[in-house]
Chains A and B, each alone.
Chain A
Amino acid sequence: MGKVDVYPTIAWSAGAGCHGGCGQKLFVEDGKMIKIEGDENHPFNQGRSCPRVLALTQYMYHEDRITQPMKRVGERGSGKFEPISWDDAFDFCETRMKDIKEEYGPESIVFAQGTGRDIGGPISFLAYSYGSPNWVQLGLSGQSCYTPRLGAMKAVQGDFGVSDCSQFLETRYDDPEWEVPEVIIVWGQHPPNGCPDAFFGHWIVDCMKLGTKIISMDPRNTWMTSRSEHHLKLRPGTDGAMALGMLNVILSEGLEDKEFCAKWVHGLDELRERAAEYPVERVAQITGVPAEEITEAARFFANAKRASIHWGVPIDMCPDGTSVAHAIICLWSITGNIDIPGGQVIARPSHEVSSYPYSTEALIDLYGEELVKTLTEKRIGADEYKMVKNFRGWAQPDMVIDQIMTGEPYPIKGAWIQTANVLGGQAARTNFHYEALKKLEFVAVVDLFHNPTTMALADIVLPSSTFPEKDSFRSWWAPLSIIKKRVQVGDCKTDWEINFELAKRFNPEGTQRWGSPMEYFNERLAPSGKTFKDMEDAGGWLMPEDGPAKPYNRHERGLLRPDGKPGFNTPSGKIEVYCSAYEDWDLDPLPFYTEPPQSPISTPELHEKYPLIMITGARSQLYFHSELRGIPWLREKEPDPTVEVHPDTAADYDVYDGEWIYLKNDLGKVKRKVTITRRVKPSEIQTLHGWWMPEQEGAEPNLFGVWDYQVNQLVPGPQESKSGFGGGQYKTTLVTLEKMEKEGAAANG
């Protein structure tokens, strides 16, 4: 036995999945990680951990882990791969990708990512070095995960905002500047189930312990809703109506923060007029929540001195998600909660460091004029949707898959898929994605394990690393952190190493000033005045100092606008509840409500055939999307894909607890095990996504059982909103329960 060394680092996927940010200590013996523990000295988690990160040794040293580049030798889908060297793997990718570029142009390869992992930097670096504008969250209908909310915040208030749980302050809850929020609306999420978007979910619970009261906006019953002051059980997809109804209560009763609105809000009268179209009685009818409950919750929120809203993906997944987000932003704005202690604080990347460049000048400098032209002219969806063109550099996912199928307006011939199990995870209308992607001439997948996507599609699989195996950095809100490599597993390389090597081959000129990813990191870190080494010597993380990245009252202090004047970073300098950016993008400048495309109201006949509203896409503490089903310590605690069914509904359908049944609609059917519970209403069911069985046969046609368990097969598309962002129908698809034939039930039971 050797000596055990303990190293602090920052967690950020892969391994735990998640959006990361917590401090962890790695216990390393003879080059192997033998244990991981939370870092007590890190302000993010203060020693706490989650089950996924604590099971990391089982993930890193799993017998199924891919530890060498693998080239397909049989037919696509045969599951036959052979190990090759990295040199050969890079040569293979370079040749194939250069051939496609020559024949069809660089836009003919799409670069597809999932979520979690420090992926934005390396994948855009590679896509742009290759010359393709088509960087995409492939499969995620309407890009319905945070991007719609981010876009709305940028447009309305010029910056992003988050619930202030003291996360920007080094001494956290002890910092005298911070104050306990009186009220937090938790809208469409169960925060204890994970760490969404650089936010430790249990911070909300910390605040509850200190006295914060919760308003739950959730159709389900959860641990948190059963502890909330007000629980509004709205019908899935009606969040927009709810927000407008609450705005109406606040504005018609004069509960807004009048002083703040006079000084900092643009368009209040127009908003008041729009909100008046949503009297509570009408909203009660739409949402199914009694009018008095809506009124009381709106008053409770507006009367609090310090309040915020912590929100989740159901907002993005509403039809016109960007408008629903707009309405919710209005709620925290007109009540004067922006950037106050215990309110909705502005969130900026720490130390103004970004993991990839996005200004036009920086892009031209790095990748040349041609790329920047392609980004506007060839990027899929940028033509159709002005918001897609103007907010973030991504291609529109629903349009990308349609274009792969049709070849119009130009053909797509290849896909570089990194950190995305498209077929086992996010792809709505999964079968359509499968058929379209099968047509591609070249598919490379970078991942850590085989999954339905590698099996069905990959010509080559490149093995990536978990966070203890990599150098990287992170500036997503606070603190600024570095991830430091401590161990090596097999021949795995990091996403940065893989993409850097190939980027050099495609863009030798633009990338010549860096000899290694580390040199690139140092350039990105430059705005902080620190190098990677400085950060390492300082313990690995730094909280923002007074300035644009640290609360509070930055609009008063002239810290938000490039011109240094007081105000918000919008054209008017105010929070634009009447949104000029939306107007420029041909969108309604005021929030409005749209009924879900499938619902008892919009499609009564379909509802008769499929009477249950299926809620899917929620998080589990044990899994991250389609990851981790093969990790024994995790799978033990949630072994089967279940569907939550209300006791009355179970009686109606004559199903018992533990029975295997099908969830079914016109798009297909998937297997689920019934859990009878009052967590859901009789009119709704809930099931989690991302299920496939790593223990089953991977080769086609089985593909790890993905066709039996992948619930997104039932989710239709394309479903994007008028903005191009939002509307993926993951929360409002209509289905029914179908009993299995005897043999089927026995085989699964």
Chain B
Amino acid sequence: MAKYGILIDYDFCTGCHTCEVACQQEHNYPVGLNGIKVTEYEYQLANGKVKIDYMPFLTDLCDLCMSRQAEGERPSCVKHCQTACMKFGLTTDLTAEAATRPRAALHTHVPK
């Protein structure tokens, strides 16, 4: 069972890369190893307007910042996110919260 997860209010993710470097610093991951990766989506609407969205994705290297949890700290990516669009918590709580957001994605995550 996935007890914990990270809720992403992706309407507000600006693709700023902060979460990616936060994770690398926290785990001292060298280039090429990433606990989280952000992808850009560029698409056109029927009225011709161009929309640009971003979505962070947790990789198998994400351990949900276990050692920070032990100290009562939020995961590094969540804490440093420049738009505070990420939230860490129990998947049960986050599922309820996701339902209140127009555009959100819940990453349930069991560290490998």
Binding site for B on A (CB under 8 A): 35-38, 40, 47-51, 54-55, 57, 192-193, 201-202, 205-206, 208-209, 221-224, 226-227, 231, 621-622, 632-637, 677-679
Contacts and interface: CB of A to CB of B under 8 A. Distances in A.
A633 B31 contact: yes
Contacts of B44: 678
Given A54-B18, A192-B16, 12 more contacts: A55-B25, A192-B14, A192-B82, A192-B83, A202-B14, A202-B16, A621-B18, A622-B17, A632-B30, A678-B44, A678-B50, A679-B42
Nearest to A202: B82
> Contact size class for B?
20 to 34
A57 B15 CA distance: 22
Given A37-B79, A47-B79, A632-B30, A54 B22 contact: yes
B54 interface: yes
B31 A621 contact: no
A226 B11 CA distance: 11
Interface majority SS (helix, strand, loop, mixed), chain B: mixed
18 contacts: A35-B26, A37-B76, A47-B79, A48-B80, A48-B82, A49-B22, A50-B16, A51-B16, A54-B80, A55-B25, A192-B15, A192-B16, A202-B82, A222-B52, A227-B11, A636-B31, A678-B50, A679-B50
B50 A57 contact: no
Given A221-B50, A678-B50, A637 B14 contact: no
Contacts of B51: 226
Nearest to A47: B79
Given A678-B44, A678-B50, A679-B52, A223 B17 contact: no
Interface string B12-50: 101111101110111000111000000000101000011
Nearest to A226: B51
Nearest to A209: B12
A310 B23 CA distance: 31
Contacts of B82: 48-50, 192, 201-202, 205
A49 B24 CA distance: 14
Interface in B47-83: 49-54, 76, 79-83
Interface of B: 11-12, 14-18, 20-22, 24-26, 30-32, 42, 44, 49-54, 76, 79-84
A205 B22 CA distance: 20
B21 A633 contact: yes
A57 B25 contact: yes
A208 B16 CA distance: 17
Interface core residue of B17, B30, B49, B50 (most chain A CB under 10 Å): B17
B42 A678 contact: yes
Contacts of B26: 35
Contacts of A636: 31-32
Nearest to A36: B25
